[in-house]
Amino acid sequence: MRTLHLLIGTLLLAVPGQAQPSHWPTSNASWKVFHTQAHGLVVWVSPFQLDIINGLLFTEVTYTLGNDTLLGGQQYTAVYQAWDSQFESVPGAQVDTTVNYPPQGPVFRGGFRSMGQQVYFWNVQDQSEHLLYDFDLQVGDPLPISFVYQNANATVASIDTLLLGGQARRRFHLQGAGLLGSFLV
């Protein structure tokens, strides 16, 4: 009987584990990020008077992957950023205005590389590599400080799966100060 338990235990240990592949794109990918933030715009309301108009700044940022590139001695997939912004005054502002800023970019921002379940970003602004995502987190693990997420008090509270675009994705529910309802996919 003991031999049977030992054999079953050995077989279970030999079964390879199943993990969600990171599916991090390495070519032919682009995505958009939308930001809305409170903003003040300085305007002339008369020839001798400046005023600040309160409003919202809407920004659409487009990231596009390029060819492979060498950064800091490592091979990365190049990342380019372009953006377009529009300011709209709040209702009842002294001056009702909309300002469309000229589109910017694309500008080279750095590169991505994957190593196991971790994805790293080389930032050209500070010339260094930053952890971007860690797809191998487990319940109870602290969320590592990364380029994307900088809350030092976050831990993984639970993990479930949701369907996005027909593909199953792990969703990491977070807990910690200021994290009510926060999650990463």
Does some domain include residue 124?
no
Residues 95 and 31 occupy one common structural domain: yes
Does some domain include residue 164?
yes
157 vs 178: CA distance, rounded Å: 14
Q: List the structure tokens of 18.
A: 């199943």
Q: What's the confidence (pLDDT) of residue 86?
A: 93
Residues 93 and 37 occupy one common structural domain: yes
**Domain of 171?**
137-185
Residues 105 and 141 occupy one common structural domain: no
Residues 42 and 98 occupy one common structural domain: yes
Does some domain include residue 128?
no
Q: What's the confidence (pLDDT) of residue 11?
A: 33
Q: What's the confidence (pLDDT) of residue 179?
A: 65
Q: What's the confidence (pLDDT) of residue 6?
A: 35
Q: What's the confidence (pLDDT) of residue 61?
A: 93
Does some domain include residue 14?
no
Count: domains in the chain: 2
C-alpha separations of 82 from 108, 119, 158, 167, 180 in Å: 9, 22, 35, 28, 32
Q: What's the confidence (pLDDT) of residue 171?
A: 87
- Is residue 72 within 8 A of residue 110, CB to CB? The reply is no
Phi, psi for residue 5 in degrees, rounded to 5: -60, -40
Residues 62 and 105 occupy one common structural domain: yes
Of residues 117, 129, 91, the one with CA closest to residue 170 = 117
Residues 36 and 88 occupy one common structural domain: yes
Q: What's the confidence (pLDDT) of residue 154?
A: 82
Q: What's the confidence (pLDDT) of residue 146?
A: 65
| pLDDT, one tens digit for every residue, the chain (185 residues) | 443 333 333 333 333 334 445 567 777 888 898 888 888 888 777 788 887 888 899 999 999 999 999 998 999 999 999 999 999 988 877 777 888 999 998 999 999 999 888 889 999 998 989 888 888 889 998 877 765 566 667 888 999 998 988 888 888 888 876 666 677 77
Residues 6+ apart with CB under 8 A from 11: none
Q: What's the confidence (pLDDT) of residue 76?
A: 94
